[in-house]
């Protein structure tokens, strides 16, 4: 098969009156960090990769599940069957779509410790834009801290049920997320996609807005970036627009006082996983796991399989499932008590 002529791949976007070879070259030298490869991260990553964003870093802690497939457009049936990590499955798809770009897949929790390290010392260098593909406000406030601290634009997005929101926060030019919302809503107070469901076209349209604004930023068309927060309800057919101009909070703890509270927080090492009976242990001290030795020792207590990303299986005695990732993160399925999970971690994996 002959190589695709390089002038063919982007030819339709180069026909746009505001897009020239200089814009395309600028895109090829740019780097987008996408936090979360779910209903928002999949379509936005797909659009950025096809447009020719030269470097894309993807971060997600989860594995592909069948319940993801109706809206998470980079994944196929086999990814769910094989339980691939989402970041890796997304990377596989993106490099198949566009082999001219570099994609780094990070299978990890985007907590405060990892977040700063990834942004400052990631394999592909410091990103030029941060895209929000998360499903929780704690992580969004963390992205906002990173955005303001390192002066990187933050393209916010959220989708739940039939509603979605998108906005762009540019440090020094627009309000930040904390100018609009002083703190995250209390845990449990907001609907989740687990409880309220998601109408897939909503996440696709919000992700398209995010990709659109990211592309404008990356080709240097900052003057075209929307200056408002958009909100849709696709079922009701309604649309609202909140102008961001004038909403900078002169007392904002983040962009005015530069108190990066979410970045300075100690990550919880032990977390319950939303929507299922499972506990995650994410040790603060990261050291790569000796995978084959650990698999051998776990197999004395149950049935475990090793893949290139993880060890996964079940203990025979108590029917508890365990997944251990290369960086030492572990998920215990079938228990709700964090203390039991910590004890099992210490016993089988080490402190």
Among the listed ranges 112-120, 179-187, 218-226, 332-340, the one in contact with Zn ion (CB under 5 A) is 179-187
CA distances for 254 relative to 121, 251, 263, angstroms: 23, 9, 11
Tell the smallest beta-carbon distance from residue 194 to Zn ion (Å). Answer: 30
Residue 66 or 181: which CB sits closer to Zn ion? Answer: 181
When asked if residue 48 is in the footprint of Zn ion (CB under 5 A), the reply is no
Number of residues that bind Zn ion (CB under 5 A): 6
d(CA 162, CA 201): 8
Here's the x/- map for Zn ion, 181-200, by CB under 5 A: it reads as --------------------
Residue 227 or 338: which CB sits closer to Zn ion? Answer: 227
Return the residues of window 246-305 that contact Zn ion according to CB under 5 A.
252, 254-255
d(CA 118, CA 143): 12
Tell the smallest beta-carbon distance from residue 172 to Zn ion (Å). Answer: 11
When asked if residue 108 is in the footprint of Zn ion (CB under 5 A), the reply is no
Angle at 49 between CA 218 and CA 137, to 5 degrees: 70
Residue among 31, 61, 178, 312 that touches Zn ion (CB under 5 A): 178
Among the listed ranges 171-179, 207-215, 237-245, 294-302, the one in contact with Zn ion (CB under 5 A) is 171-179
Tell the smallest beta-carbon distance from residue 214 to Zn ion (Å). Answer: 20
d(CA 20, CA 153): 23
Among the listed ranges 41-49, 173-181, 183-191, 221-229, the one in contact with Zn ion (CB under 5 A) is 173-181
When asked if residue 217 is in the footprint of Zn ion (CB under 5 A), the reply is no
Q: Hey, what are 35's tokens?
A: 């936090």
Tell the smallest beta-carbon distance from residue 243 to Zn ion (Å). Answer: 16
Contact residues: Zn ion, CB under 5 A = 176, 178-179, 252, 254-255
């Amino acid at each position: 098969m002959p190589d695709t002529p390089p002038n063919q791949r982007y030819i339709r976007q180069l026909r746009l009156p505001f897009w020239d070879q200089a814009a395309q070259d600028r895109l090829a030298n740019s780097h987008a960090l996408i936090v979360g490869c779910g209903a928002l991260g999949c379509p936005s990553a797909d659009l950025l990769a096809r447009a020719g964003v030269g470097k894309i870093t993807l971060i997600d802690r989860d594995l592909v599940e069948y319940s993801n497939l109706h809206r998470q457009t980079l994944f196929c049936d086999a990814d769910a069957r094989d339980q691939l990590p989402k970041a890796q499955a997304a990377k596989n798809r993106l490099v198949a779509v566009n082999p001219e770009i570099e994609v780094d897949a990070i299978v990890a929790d985007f907590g405060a410790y990892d977040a700063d390290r990834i942004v400052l010392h990631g394999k592909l260098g410091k990103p030029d834009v941060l895209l929000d593909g998360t499903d929780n406000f704690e992580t969004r406030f963390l992205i906002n801290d990173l955005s303001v601290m390192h002066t990187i634009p933050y393209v916010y997005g959220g989708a739940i049920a039939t509603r979605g929101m998108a906005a762009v926060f540019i440090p020094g030019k627009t309000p930040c997320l904390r100018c609009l919302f002083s703190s995250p809503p209390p845990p449990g107070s907001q609907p989740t996609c687990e409880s309220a469901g998601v109408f897939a076209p909503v996440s696709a349209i919000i992700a398209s807005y995010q990709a659109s604004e990211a592309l404008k930023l990356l080709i240097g068309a900052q003057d075209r970036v929307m200056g408002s927060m958009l909100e849709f309800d696709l079922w009701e057919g309604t649309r609202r627009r909140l102008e961001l101009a004038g909403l900078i909070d002169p007392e904002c703890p983040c962009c005015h006082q530069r108190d990066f509270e979410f970045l300075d927080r100690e990550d919880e090492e032990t977390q319950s996983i939303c929507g299922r009976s499972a506990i995650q242990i994410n040790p603060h001290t990261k050291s790569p796991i000796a995978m084959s030795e650990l698999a051998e020792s776990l197999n004395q207590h149950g049935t475990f399989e090793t893949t290139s990303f993880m060890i996964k299986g079940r203990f025979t005695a108590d029917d508890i499932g365990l997944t251990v990732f290369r960086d030492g993160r572990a998920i215990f399925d079938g228990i709700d008590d964090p203390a039991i999970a910590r004890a099992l971690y210490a016993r089988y994996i080490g402190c």
